A and B are shown apart, each in its own frame.
Chain A
């Protein structure tokens, strides 16, 4: 990486001579180095899944939440620095509340994504701020149906059929591309995400899955996937992985 140590990577308010903002790229790196987060937009809803490495045997199960409801019809999963992610979540939920009290209707997905992206982008504008070290996958079910957005530390926001951030993103995206998302139901999506997370996870440390969805089955409300379903998906995914490992 040219330019490192030349002083162009100290602040977000200075471009490097070849047109890059290093601080923003480092923030993206913080996301890229942390646990994988996958999002799928299926035909009847959106499923989000996070890989959470268990940092201590004594950690209480379900700690360090990564999926959050933002409103009844919207929620997000954050990858990267969890604390930064919480700031994004708080902002998004107050945007949703503010929109509701002003317009009297739920916030549409594209507005929520845009406003969240604007908020994240703010941290790329001033020398005395550092960019957000986290990316947010936003799942919304509004009158236009289910939608999935990704907001990155640079403040860009895009709509996706399926995407992934974090350590295993490349492999995960490859697997997502093989899926027929327009035929997949959320129930199947849960299993697919479980398989993907198991595949991209490196064996050394155990991990916990955190899955959340918004679909017809969850009354079009953003909810965590029921525990028994997660357990079932987990065992099935593990079995599938062991099978394919045997063949190798």
Chain B
């Protein structure tokens, strides 16, 4: 280190010609090179140990362990000549109703719709994946498009692969469409669990809506019946799931193609006796 002109002014802080320069440099023994030591003489900078984790030691890297902006249940039923899925349009920030007009049902291609609950940023990422996939398909220009089942299988692989990386996409998906003259309806969980059924529901809907589906659903329902069933199920979900709002979208896949409805609300009735006095028969509650 060469001796530099030194300012002894106390007006200049340690940043300029700092305390170390205020001390005369010894020419007898050249100063040792001090790796990572600030020449200003300020306290050495501490590195957060976890930041060095990838170099070995420290704590392992952490992945998303808590979702931030989330959507709640997605419901779906098949009927005589198609399939209907529905969800509300809420993006919750914890239990804050933060974003109230989020489309959680998206069109993938001319025959497929995907609906998502869980972390909405992860869902947006899933949509970019599917968008790349369908754009590639479009550029191929051979008239072949991915069928709903193919998209469903693709999503099962993506979700399971991310689980194996210990970095899951925090979503429950419902994938529906119309294929080979038959409705298709399936669901994929955030660790890759998946199944197809004549009616599905994710999250809270599994507890609230599926009992209704089991009671009232039959595969040769008319569209009107299926819509009614789905409306009733949505209403129950809205009554009992605090992270939901009365603004829904419904999507339909038939032989004619797919459509996603404009947002709508349902008539509700909060005058039921047990709504007014929830502790009526609950002894010991307050």
Contacts and interface: CB of A to CB of B under 8 A. Distances in A.
Given A101-B132, A221-B138, 11 more contacts: A68-B139, A68-B141, A69-B138, A69-B139, A70-B139, A71-B135, A72-B138, A93-B139, A97-B135, A97-B136, A100-B132
Nearest to B128: A101
Contacts, number: 19
Contacts of B136: 97
Interface residues of B, number: 7
Q: In which size bucket is the chain A interface? A: 10 to 19
B141 A224 contact: yes
Interface in B105-144: 128, 132, 135-136, 138-139, 141
Interface of A: 68-72, 93, 97, 100-101, 221, 224
Contacts of B135: 71-72, 97
Contacts of A93: 139
A195 to B, nearest CB: 26
A195 B173 CA distance: 52
A224 B132 CA distance: 21
19 contacts: A68-B139, A68-B141, A69-B138, A69-B139, A69-B141, A70-B139, A71-B135, A71-B139, A72-B135, A72-B138, A93-B139, A97-B132, A97-B135, A97-B136, A100-B132, A101-B128, A101-B132, A221-B138, A224-B141
Nearest to A104: B128
Contacts of B141: 68-69, 224
B129 to A, nearest CB: 10
Interface of B: 128, 132, 135-136, 138-139, 141
Nearest to A70: B139
A73 to B, nearest CB: 10
B181 to A, nearest CB: 26
A93 B132 CA distance: 11
B123 to A, nearest CB: 16
A77 to B, nearest CB: 13
A3 B138 CA distance: 47
A85 to B, nearest CB: 14
A70 B136 CA distance: 9
A211 B138 CA distance: 17
Contacts of A71: 135, 139
Contacts of A68: 139, 141
Of residues B132, B136, B139, B141, which shows the largest number of chain A Cβ atoms within 10 Å of its Cβ? B139
Contacts of B138: 69, 72, 221
Nearest to B139: A69
Nearest to B134: A72
A224 B138 CA distance: 12
Contacts of A97: 132, 135-136
List the 7 closest A-B pairs by CB distance, nearest first.
A69-B139, A93-B139, A69-B141, A72-B138, A72-B135, A69-B138, A71-B135
Contacts of B128: 101
A93 B141 CA distance: 13
A209 to B, nearest CB: 17
A26 B138 CA distance: 34
Contacts of A101: 128, 132
A69 B136 CA distance: 9
B139 to A, nearest CB: 5
A71 B136 CA distance: 8
A70 B139 CA distance: 6
B130 to A, nearest CB: 13
A203 B132 CA distance: 44
A186 to B, nearest CB: 19
A221 B139 CA distance: 11
B124 to A, nearest CB: 10
A221 B110 CA distance: 15
A166 B241 CA distance: 67
B255 to A, nearest CB: 22
A93 B135 CA distance: 10
B244 to A, nearest CB: 30
